[in-house]
Chain A
Amino acid sequence: MTDPDDRDGPGAVSIRPFGDRAFLVELEQRRDPGLVSRSRALADAWEARGLGPAIPAYASVVLQFDPGRIRYADARRAAHELLHAVAVPPDAAAGPITVVPVRYDGPDIAETAERSDLTVDGLIAIHGATTYSAWFLGFMPGFAYLGPLDPRIRAPRRPSPRSRVPAGAVAVADGQTAIYPAESPGGWQLIGSTDVRPFDPASDPPARIRAGDRVRFVRA
């Protein structure tokens, strides 16, 4: 490519151009709680320096800046410095716990149990046995990616997403679980439903589950 990626530090960390007012810092291509923590720490540090908003995800963070306030080259330098300055945070699984009562009545629960060589009751027991960490929010307002899901539950994304998943649907996919905050299209396997609404635009903050919080599911 004519615009080579900057590689920086150990492993394969890269700082990639993302238009004229952002960079994408990619740590690795895997879901891992340590990488989630590091992504969030980098986002926090960028915002704390007043350079602009940042959006962390599994193992990456988008660093936005205002080219009217900081030049492109200087923003790039600041992103490099950030990678060296921000230490890997200690395991920060200490956020408040939200307990979510679930009716395990989702249309995909039997198929998910069968694929996992589990009974439905066995799947429910395993899903409820983990205290999940909210890795990050994205996809739609208030949608928290909760993990890690016990690997005994095998749940690939559906090959063709549903055009309509109801609000409060409890779902699993790709080693994670989540609650749909509002009706939307969605490709995850639906195993249950809850009356908990993780997003209320009239509340401040509107997202009830925030990154770093913990979530437990109990059978309603």
Chain B
Amino acid sequence: MIRIGAPGIRSTIQDAGRSAGLRSGIPPAGPADPQAFATACGLVGLPPDAAAIEVVGLPFSFRCDDLRLIAVTGREVRVRSRIPLPSWTAVVVRPGEEVVIEGGVVTRYVYVAISGGIDLPWVLGSRATYLPSGIGPWPAALAAGDALPLGEARVPTERAGMRRAAPDHGAPVRAVPGPHTHRFTEEAVEALFAGPFTVAAESDRMGLRIQGRRIGSTGGELLTCGITAGAIQVPSGGDPIVLLADHQTTGGYPIIATVLSADLGLVAQRAPGEVLQLVRVTGDAG
């Protein structure tokens, strides 16, 4: 078992996401920052379909009943037990040892992966949590005192000390023009990539709002169509929104460009007030 002490604000169980409900209108969910999530899971030897914890709101603390390898990833994240522990690194924690995670003002999504993984049943093919509709095997934000089952207790100690570099969280973000480029003038598309944009405060797991030069679309009503994460929607007269894990499965706003899947984490982790610079690439550039 893993036992939650300080729960954060909206911490949830996530895995790589759920595709089985897309045609029922169920958002894919999964980690807001897929790269940091995959790095944490990889460090402790978990397979690609494993479940781990996405922490929102710090501090977050927990204990495990038995010896485990853990990894914590995120932006400007600090980890300690009785002594400071490195982040972005696989570390061994002893039975009952309390682990505390803290961060700074720009910290947004933090991932805690534990060897063995969070062992919950699959719901619609996934363990990801979609909080607004209560979907997933643990369909609520984590609370103090929650105890979650862990998978096989074998600790791959040969991985202890392995580390991965954190990305440059201020780096430019690559995006492919489209699919609705025909709904925008060439000037509008150029304005998007000329940037820069500033991240607005009202950004969450559904999407990141960015403010900058006004971008207007052309043409009449756009029929609702399916959506994928990374889509940059331009509401009429509104600020562009880069859609993230909890995005609606369909939408009726024109999409001027789509962020490369490998750069979604850079979008999710950008803090309000920070700058987001988009760089134009083609779809086969990933």
- Of the candidates B176, B224, B227, the one whose C-beta lies within 8 Å of that of A17 is B176
The yes or no answer to B157 lying at the interface (CB within 8 A) is no
| Cβ-closest chain A residue relative to B178 | A17
- A interface, size bucket: 35 or more
B 26-52 to A, binary, CB cutoff 8 A, 1 in contact else 0 = 110000000000000000000000000
| Residue of B249, B255, B261 with most partner-chain A CB within 10 A | B249
What is the bound-complex CA distance between A54 and B20, given in angstroms?
A: 10
- Give the shortest distance, in Å, between B191 (CB) and chain A (any CB): 14
- Of the candidates B20, B21, B180, B258, the one whose C-beta lies within 8 Å of that of A19 is B258
The yes or no answer to A104 lying at the interface (CB within 8 A) is no
The yes or no answer to A96 lying at the interface (CB within 8 A) is no
Given contacts A19-B283, A141-B24, A206-B24, contact A55 B227 (CB under 8 A): yes
Tell me which residues across on chain B come within 8 A of A52, comparing CB atoms: 19
Offer 24 A-B interface pairs, CB within 8 angstroms, sorted by A: A3-B181, A16-B179, A16-B181, A19-B176, A20-B285, A24-B226, A26-B225, A53-B20, A57-B223, A57-B224, A61-B226, A71-B284, A136-B250, A137-B23, A138-B248, A140-B133, A141-B25, A141-B27, A142-B24, A142-B25, A201-B134, A205-B24, A207-B25, A211-B23
Contact B226 A19 (CB under 8 A): no
Contact B283 A17 (CB under 8 A): yes
Contact B135 A72 (CB under 8 A): no
A 186-211 to B, binary, CB cutoff 8 A, 1 in contact else 0 = 00000000000001010011110011
Contact A141 B135 (CB under 8 A): yes
- Contact residues of A with B, CB < 8 Å? 1-3, 5, 16-24, 26, 29-31, 43, 52-62, 64, 67, 71-73, 136-143, 145, 182, 199, 201, 204-207, 210-211
Contact A210 B139 (CB under 8 A): no
| Residue of B23, B178, B221, B262 with most partner-chain A CB within 10 A | B23
- Give the shortest distance, in Å, between B206 (CB) and chain A (any CB): 11
> Helix, strand, loop or mixed for chain A's interface?
loop
- Contact residues of B with A, CB < 8 Å? 19-27, 124, 130, 133-135, 139, 175-182, 186, 189, 221-228, 230-231, 248-251, 255, 258-262, 282-286
Contact A53 B135 (CB under 8 A): no
Given contacts A19-B228, A20-B261, A30-B223, contact A143 B283 (CB under 8 A): no
Contact B286 A67 (CB under 8 A): yes
Tell me which residues across on chain B come within 8 A of A54, comparing CB atoms: 23, 226
Contact A55 B133 (CB under 8 A): no
- Give the shortest distance, in Å, between A183 (CB) and chain B (any CB): 10
- Of the candidates A20, A26, A139, the one whose C-beta lies within 8 Å of that of B283 is A20
| Cβ-closest chain A residue relative to B285 | A20
Tell me which residues across on chain B come within 8 A of A201, comparing CB atoms: 133-135, 139
Tell me which residues across on chain A come within 8 A of B25, comparing CB atoms: 137-143, 199, 207
Contact B24 A62 (CB under 8 A): no
Contact A139 B26 (CB under 8 A): no
What is the bound-complex CA distance between A29 and B222, given in angstroms?
A: 7
Tell me which residues across on chain A come within 8 A of B179, comparing CB atoms: 16-18, 23-24, 26
Contact A206 B182 (CB under 8 A): no
Given contacts A3-B176, A138-B250, A141-B135, contact A62 B182 (CB under 8 A): no
What is the bound-complex CA distance between A211 and B180, given in angstroms?
A: 25
| Cβ-closest chain A residue relative to B48 | A68
